[in-house]
Structure formats: structure tokens, C-alpha cells
């Protein structure tokens, strides 16, 4: 090597640390966009600073992730590092955890462990965030074991992450067990476990934890409020939801957009659609989610025309409806019998808004045809669907067959359900009722014997009403309530008063081979009638009554409740398995179409 070349190489070696320092300074000062980040990256290459330098590499990766650049770019830089330190590994895991595809975060962690690189306290929160998004409880348990083994289980932010992941994976009980063991429980932990119960079918536990939260003097935030409102909506607990609303007003959370949207959903799901509309009207800012919540709420409550009118307002505001907005519109058409209008919305959704229909949209269309009595058309529609029909769609068809007495197609739907979900009790009941309507009693007995052989138990119908801070539940013929004598006395009074109004029991709704008098007694003691009788003796005159029922309201109860609303001058809101019925002055919001 010539003396000149030697001097040049020596100067370049001295220059590189300076260039690395210069590039790091530029990144910290100027890297405000991907474009500028790449400019600094190019500068480092031009001036001979190797990306394999761990200091420069980790900064490039950090800013690449912080600026949400494609993870392929960050990973390509990472791959060039000679000996990436734990900071670089954690940054890469964090980047994938916060991306739309978190799966590589787990793979990077496994690669890190295979190379013998020990995780630190920052590794697990990022990794667990990815696992939570993947909702893979097996990976969660594996990481949990590793956390305990490596001595990081006592760190608060790791504990918070573990509680969140178990809740996100649907294991609310496991999340709660960890939560109980935490020596310090902050708002993050409370929110995770409350939300876990709220989203996983245990709203009562969510509300109980909220009460405990108050005892421990931990103040809820917007995220807590959304979880509580979701739990209240699931329970149909309007009084509890109103208490949460009052708290929102008190602490100034009414301007929280997510909480306000959840409040609309609560009132709509509790049948208080006027309050849902009031919340919507008072919102300073509304997103498509806000409009969709009210559109779906109006449709669920039987106000289909108002739902479609609101859909038109949304379009007038130049907002773009989402796929869920169209579910609301199709649902409104289905429950109002507007078949042509429903097909028009379905066509617009595909052609005008380029939304690819999913199984829920197709379900709405089957429901639309089935409710209108076009059972054969509904069956043909299912046969022509571009995606395989699921059990819900076949069940909609079977329900339509039961209502419109189409035994041939009903048996086809039942056969499909036996393949997809053979143990669902409601399917046995529907086909049994269909046979009973045709007076094919031997087939009814065959279905019931098969239920016994298959170990399938019929879900008993139950109804409940909320009174103060208590929920009172009733089943058919229920005499377990402490006020049972008063309730049955009121039932007898209702029976007499309705007969004066010309009420004749619809005994065809009783699908059993028994005497007419027995059928009338069975109808009189349906759970929703018992719940309404209890509400009539327990609430002031003219107070609205709200009942939640787990099954479809039968035709006889529907007729009787219309007359009760007129005779006793009460607004009665009944939420059954699929929709709300608003009874007032002798009529129902469903216009007898449900």
C-alpha cells in the first residue's frame, strides 16, 4: 500500500465515528418524516458510515419504527447489524407489535431467544402487545411462563400487559386472577379486566368491578366508561347506564367521542331510542360511527323509516357509510318489509361504495326475504350465495319456515343445521313447532325423543325487568318471586280486562297436543306477561315498562301487550331475541311485522 493510500484509509477510519455521530445528530434533529430519514440514511452511506455500526443502526431502526415506515425497511436495516443489542431487538418487536401484522414480533422474539440473547424488562410489554392483537392464548401462556422464569413477573407494566392479553384473548377469569394478585393496581389494570369481562359475556362482573374500583378510589377514564356502557347495554341495564351517563356529565367526559358513541349504543340497546337520539343531537363532533350507531339503533327498535331517513342525512353530509352502516340499512328494510328497497341498498353497497358483502349482509338479505314470506326465494338466494352459508343463515330460513308454515324447506334447513351445529336446542324447537303446526304429532315426539338421546336441553324462556338497582327475572309459570301472590292476582285482573277489550287467546301458538283450556293457561303464564304484571304493581302510574326476553315474542303475547299498553296507559318496551317492540296506546312499532 502506498503512503498516500495508507494516510487516506487512516483518515477514513478516523472520519467514520464522526460521521456516525453526525448522522445520529441529524436523525434526532431532522427525522420528522420517512423522506428525511432516508436522506440521513443516504448521507451515512455516502460518507462511509457502515449501517452495521450498532449505534447508527439502532437509531435508524428506532426512527423508522417511530415514523411508522414499512417494517420491511426497518427489518432490512436490522439484518445488516453485526451484533444488534437488546435495544434494537426490542425496537423491531415493538414495530411489528404496533403494525397491522403483529405475527413477526413473535418470530423475532423466538429468533432472539435461539441466539441466546436475554430479553429485558422492555421486551415483554412489546411482545405481549403483539400477542394480545393475535389473540393467541397458547403463545400468551408460553410468554407468561418465560416472564415468571426470567424474574419479570413482579414488574407493574409487565403485569398490566399480562392482564390485558388474557382479557383480549377471551380469558377474562385468568386476567382477573392475575389482577387480584397484583400488589398495585392502576387504572390500566382496572380497565383491562373490566373490559375483558364486558367483552366476554360477563357484564355483571364488569359492573361489580366498577363498584370495587370506586371503593379503592381509582377514578375511571373514557376507556372505562366505554367498557361500562358496553356492559350495561349487554345487560339491558338502563338504570346502571344512566348512572354512568351522569358520571360522564359530572367529570366532563360527554365530549369524549368514543364514550358518546357507546352511550348512543347503550340507549338504543335498552330501547330508549329518544335518549339515544338526544345524545346524538347534542354531540359537537360526529363520525360515521356515531351515525351508524343511531341508524342501527333505530332499525333494531323498529323505526326502519327513520333509520333510512338518517342514512340519507349521512349521505347529504358527504360522509361515506361503512359496511356496518349498510347492515343497519338492510336490517331496517328487513324489519319493515321493504324488499325492493333492501335489494336497492345491497346493490348500491357493492356498485357505488365498492363494499364486498360479508356473511352478515347476506344474512340480512335472507332475513328480508324470509320475513316477507318469500321462503322459496330466500332458499334460492342461499343456494346462489358466493360464500358458504353459516348456521345463522340456515337458522333464519328455518325460522321463516316456522312462521310461514313451509315444512318442505324447513326440513332442508334443519338438515343443514344438523351438519353445522347439531346441538343447538332452538333448531329442535323450531322444527318441532313446524311439525306441530301441521298437526304431525308423531314427528313432534320423534324430534323430542331425539333431543333427549342427543342430550340437548331446551333453553327455557325467561324475561327480566330492571327496577331500581335490581334485575328481576321470571320464567314461564314462575312462582318463586317474593311478591308472587300479588303478581298472579294482577295476571288474573289483566286476563279479565283484556277479555272485555275483545281479546281471544291465540292458542295456535301453543304447539302441544293438549286441551284448549290448558293452552290458554299456558299462554297466560308466559314469562313476559309475568314480568309486565310485576312491573305494573311495582311502578307508578304511566311509568314506562321495559322487559328483556331471550326468545322471540309469540303472537299471543304480542297481541296481549298491545292491549295492556292501551288499557293501563303504559309505554311497554320489549326487547326479544332479534329486535325491540315499542307498545303504546294499543299499537306496536313493528306494525305487527316481526
pLDDT, tens digit, for every residue of 250-286? Answer: 888 888 899 999 999 999 988 889 999 999 999 989 9
- Is the separation of the CB atoms in 94 and 66 below 8 Å? no
Is 90 exceeded by the pLDDT of residue 541? yes
Q: Please measure the distance between the N-terminal and C-terminal CA atoms of the chain and give it in whole angstroms.
A: 93
The top-scoring range by mean pLDDT among 99-113, 121-135, 174-188, 354-368 is 354-368
Residue 43 CB burial class (10 angstroms; 0-12, 13-18, ≥19): middle
All cell numbers assigned to 166: 388474557
Q: Does residue 500 sit within a domain?
A: yes
More confident residue, 511 or 176: 176
The packing angle between helices 484-500 and 527-538, to 10°, is 100
Q: Among 68-77, 345-354, 398-407, 569-578, whose mean pLDDT is lowest? A: 68-77
Taking the CB of residue 468, how many other CB atoms lie within 10 A of it? 9
Residue 103, strand partner residues: none
Q: What are phi and psi of 106, to 5 degrees?
A: -70, -40
Q: Which residue, among 246, 313, 255, has the nearest Cα to 275 in the 3D structure?
A: 246
d(CA 459, CA 440): 23
pLDDT of the residue at 385: 95
C-alpha cell of residue 149: 422464569
CA distance 333 to 343: 9
d(CA 40, CA 32): 11
Q: What domain count does the chain have?
A: 1
Higher pLDDT, 542 or 455: 542
Structure confidence at residue 101 as a pLDDT band (50, 70, 90)? confident
Is residue 532 a part of any domain in this protein?
yes
pLDDT at 9 over 90: no
Give residue 520's pLDDT band: very low, low, confident or very high (50, 70, 90): low
Residue 467 lies in a domain: yes
pLDDT band at 506 (very low <50, low <70, confident <90, very high): low
- The domain of 477 spans 462-588
Residue 4, pLDDT above cutoff 50: no
Lookup result for grid cell 295476571: 491
Q: Where are the alpha helices (DSSP H) in 352-390?
A: 359-371, 375-383
Cβ contact 152:125 at 8 Å: no
pLDDT band at 31 (very low <50, low <70, confident <90, very high): low
Give the number of C-alpha atoms closer than 13 A to the C-alpha of residue 382, restricted to the C-beta side.
Answer: 26
- The full DSSP string for 8-21 is HHHHHHHHHHHHHH
Instruction: Give the mean pLDDT of 561-575.
Output: 93
Tell the residue number behind the cell numbers 434533529, with chain if given. Answer: 29
According to the model, what pLDDT value does residue 51 have? 61
Identify the pLDDT of residue 11.
38
C-alpha triplet 114, 119, 125: angle, nearest 5°: 120
pLDDT at 301 over 70: yes
| % of the chain at pLDDT higher than 90 | 34
Q: How confident is the model at residue 488 (pLDDT cuts 50, 70, 90)?
A: very high
Express each pLDDT in 387-424 by its tens digit. 999 999 999 999 899 888 899 999 999 999 999 988 88
Kindly state whether residue 418 falls inside one of the protein's structural domains.
no
Q: How far apart, in whole angstroms, are the C-alpha atoms of residue 415 and residue 533?
A: 40
Q: pLDDT tens digits, residue range 118-131?
A: 888 888 888 988 88
Residue 426 lies in a domain: no
Residue 394 or residue 140, greater confidence: 394
425 and 461 Cβ atoms separated by less than 8 Å: no
Angle between helices 203-215 and 187-199 (to 10 degrees): 160
Residue 162 to residue 477: CA distance in whole angstroms: 46
Evaluate whether residue 310 is within a structural domain. no
- The pLDDT value recorded for residue 7 is 33
| Mean model confidence pLDDT for the chain | 85
Distances (CA, A) of 393 to 149, 357, 390, 427: 48, 14, 6, 12
Per-residue pLDDT band for 530 (boundaries 50, 70, 90) equals very high
Cα separations in angstroms, 146 against 6, 99, 142, 251, 295: 52, 24, 6, 41, 47
- CA–CA separation, 356 and 345 (whole Å): 13
pLDDT at 27: 75
In whole angstroms, what is the distance from residue 193 CA to residue 206 CA? 8
What CA–CA distance (Å, rounded) separates 14 from 17? 6
Rounded distance, CA 77 to CA 72, Å?
A: 9
Cα–Cα–Cα angle for 343, 393, 415, rounded to 5 degrees = 135
**Grid cell locating 552:** 322471540
Least confident span in 99-113, 368-382, 448-462: 448-462
State residue 1's pLDDT score.
42
Is residue 588's pLDDT more than 80?
A: yes
Number of other residues whose CB lies within 10 A of the CB of residue 418: 17
Task: Name the nearest CA neighbour of 367 among 299, 312, 434, 320.
Answer: 299
Q: What is the mean pLDDT of residues 304-326?
A: 94
User: pLDDT band at residue 507, thresholds of 50, 70 and 90?
Assistant: low
CA gap 354, 321 in Å, rounded = 11
Question: Residues of the chain with pLDDT > 70: what percent?
Answer: 92
Q: Of 199-208, 492-501, 518-527, which has the strongest mean pLDDT?
A: 492-501
The pLDDT of residue 14 is 37
- Lowest model confidence (mean pLDDT) among 20-29, 154-163, 251-260, 529-538: 20-29
pLDDT at 510: 53
From CA 229, how far away is CA 244, in angstroms rounded?
Answer: 7
564 part of a folded domain: yes
What is residue 565's predicted lDDT score, i.e. its pLDDT?
Answer: 95
Pairing of strands 572-575, 580-584: antiparallel
Q: Helices marked H in 135-186 — which ranges?
A: 137-149, 156-168, 172-181
Contacts of 527 (CB under 8 A, 6+ apart): 461, 462, 463, 474, 475, 476, 478, 549
| Residue indicated by cell numbers 326476553 | 549
Residues with Cβ within 8 Å of 591's Cβ and at least 6 positions away in sequence, in order, are 302, 336
User: Per the domain annotation, does 496 fall within a domain?
Assistant: yes
Distances in Å between the Cα of 313 and the Cα atoms of 292, 306, 346 are 11, 10, 18
pLDDT, position 292: 96
Strand order in the sheet with 580-584: 470-475, 462-467, 545-549, 572-575, 580-584, 587-588
Q: What is the rounded CA–CA span in Å between residue 393 and residue 420? A: 11
Q: Are strands 545-549 and 470-475 parallel, antiparallel or unpaired?
A: unpaired
Indicate if the pLDDT at residue 98 is higher than 60: yes
Within 8 A by CB and 6+ apart from 249, the residues are none
Q: What pLDDT score was predicted for residue 244?
A: 86
State pLDDT tens for residues 571-584: 999 988 878 899 99
The more confident residue out of 469 and 287 is: 287
- The pLDDT, as a whole number, for residue 342 is 96
Amino acid at each position: 500500500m502506498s503512503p498516500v493510500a495508507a494516510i487516506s484509509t487512516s483518515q477514513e477510519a478516523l472520519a467514520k465515528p464522526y460521521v456516525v455521530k453526525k448522522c445520529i445528530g441529524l436523525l434526532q434533529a431532522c427525522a420528522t418524516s420517512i423522506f428525511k430519514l432516508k436522506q440521513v440514511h443516504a448521507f451515512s452511506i455516502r460518507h462511509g458510515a457502515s449501517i452495521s455500526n450498532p449505534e447508527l443502526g439502532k437509531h435508524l431502526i428506532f426512527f423508522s419504527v417511530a415514523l411508522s415506515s414499512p417494517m420491511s425497511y426497518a427489518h432490512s436495516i436490522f439484518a445488516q447489524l453485526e451484533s444488534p443489542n437488546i435495544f434494537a431487538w426490542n425496537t423491531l418487536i415493538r414495530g411489528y407489535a404496533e403494525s397491522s401484522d403483529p405475527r413477526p414480533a413473535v418470530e423475532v422474539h423466538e429468533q432472539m431467544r435461539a441466539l441466546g440473547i436475554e430479553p429485558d424488562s422492555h421486551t415483554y410489554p412489546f411482545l405481549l402487545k403483539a400477542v394480545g392483537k393475535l389473540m393467541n392464548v397458547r403463545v400468551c401462556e408460553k410468554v407468561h411462563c418465560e416472564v415468571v422464569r426470567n424474574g419479570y413477573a413482579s414488574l407493574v407494566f409487565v403485569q398490566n400487559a399480562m392482564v390485558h392479553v388474557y382479557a383480549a384473548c377471551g380469558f377474562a377469569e385468568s386476567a382477573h386472577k392475575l389482577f387480584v394478585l397484583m400488589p398495585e393496581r392502576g387504572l390500566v389494570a382496572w380497565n383491562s379486566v373490566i373490559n375483558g369481562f364486558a367483552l366476554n359475556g360477563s357484564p355483571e362482573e364488569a359492573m361489580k368491578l366498577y363498584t370495587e374500583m370506586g371503593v379503592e378510589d381509582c377514578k375511571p377514564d373514557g376507556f372505562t366508561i366505554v367498557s361500562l356502557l358496553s356492559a350495561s347495554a349487554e345487560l339491558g341495564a338502563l338504570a346502571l347506564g344512566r348512572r354512568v351517563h351522569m358520571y360522564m356529565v359530572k367529570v366532563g367526559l360527554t365530549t369524549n367521542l368514543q364514550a358518546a358513541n357507546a352511550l348512543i349504543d347503550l340507549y338504543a340497546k335498552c330501547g330508549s331510542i329518544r335518549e339515544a337520539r338526544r345524545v346524538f343531537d347534542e354531540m359537537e363532533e360526529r363520525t360515521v360511527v356515531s351515525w351508524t350507531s343511531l341508524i342501527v339503533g333505530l332499525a333494531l327498535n323498529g323505526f326502519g323509516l327513520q333509520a333510512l331517513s338518517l342514512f340519507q342525512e349521512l349521505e347529504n353530509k358527504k360522509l361515506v357509510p361503512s359496511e356496518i352502516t349498510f347492515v343497519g340499512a338492510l336490517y331496517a328494510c328487513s324489519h319493515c318489509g321493504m324488499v325492493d328497497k333492501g335489494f336497492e341498498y345491497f346493490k348500491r353497497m357493492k356498485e357505488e361504495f365498492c363494499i364486498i358483502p360479508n356473511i352478515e349482509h347476506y344474512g340480512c338479505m335472507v332475513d328480508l326475504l324470509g320475513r316477507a314470506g318469500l321462503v322459496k326465494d330466500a332458499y334460492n338466494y342461499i343456494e346462489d350465495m358466493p360464500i358458504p352459508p353459516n348456521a345463522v343463515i340456515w337458522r333464519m330460513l328455518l325460522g321463516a319456515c316456522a312462521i310461514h308454515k313451509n315444512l318442505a324447506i324447513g326440513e332442508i334447513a334443519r338438515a343443514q343445521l344438523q351438519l353445522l351445529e347439531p346441538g343447538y336446542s332452538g333448531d329442535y324447537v323450531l322444527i318441532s313447532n313446524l311439525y306441530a303446526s301441521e298437526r304431525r304429532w308423531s314427528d313432534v315426539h320423534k324430534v323430542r325423543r331425539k333431543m333427549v338421546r342427543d342430550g340437548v336441553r331446551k333453553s327455557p324462556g325467561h324475561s327480566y325487568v330492571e327496577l331500581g338497582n335490581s334485575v328481576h327475572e321470571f320464567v314461564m309459570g314462575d312462582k318463586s318471586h317474593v311478591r308472587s301472590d300479588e303478581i298472579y292476582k294482577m295476571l288474573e285482573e289483566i286476563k279479565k280486562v283484556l277479555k272485555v277489550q275483545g281479546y281471544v287467546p291465540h292458542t295456535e301458538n301453543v304447539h302441544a297436543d293438549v286441551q284448549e283450556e290448558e293452552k290458554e293457561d299456558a299462554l297466560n303464564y308466559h314469562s313476559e306477561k309475568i314480568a309486565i304484571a310485576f312491573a305494573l304493581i311495582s311502578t307508578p302510574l304511566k311509568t314506562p315498562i321495559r322487559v328483556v326476553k331471550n326468545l322471540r315474542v309469540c303472537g299471543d303475547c304480542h297481541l296481549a301487550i298491545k292491549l295492556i299498553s292501551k288499557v293501563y296507559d303504559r309505554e311497554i318496551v320489549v326487547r326479544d331475541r332479534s329486535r325491540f317492540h315499542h307498545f303504546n296506546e294499543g299499537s306496536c312499532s313493528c306494525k305487527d311485522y316481526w
